[in-house]
Amino acid sequence: MILVYNAPDGIIAAIGDTVHKIVSPATYPCSLCALTHGAVAMRRAWKQYLAALPHPKRFYHRDAFRRAYPGLDVTLPVILLADGDAAPRVLIDAATLAAQADVAGLIATLEAALAVHPPRR
């Protein structure tokens, strides 16, 4: 599973993102960040849920993702499923992430997506 935040890399960017989330959350460009992270850390319920998933997980910020997958054109943020050497496929797209109200809704949406599109063996 590949979780891609629509946020830049680096400490300075992280500080700016934190301020943006606090000062103007409605204009923050990363719904995945907003749902899964508080001001400084990953939300406990999300962290525990991810830890319980049997799938390997990779996290990327926008810049690192574009470097790692230069040919993959997807709108960010996004949650992808990687299966071996095949190109990662979209599990939850940006619009669906933006429609989530909270972590519980995101978890339910991800569970449903994994049930419909389980990892290939």
SS (H, E, C) the chain: CEEEECCCCCHHHHHHHHHHHHHCHHHCCCHHHHHHECCCCECHHHHHHHHHCCCCCEEEEHHHHHHHCCCCCCCCCEEEECCCCCCCEEEECHHHHHCCCCHHHHHHHHHHHHHHCCCCC
Look at residue 34 in the predicted model and tell me its pLDDT.
80
Query: Model confidence over 61-86: pLDDT tens digits?
Result: 999 999 999 999 999 999 999 887 78
- The pTM for the full model equals 0.83
pLDDT at 111 over 90: yes
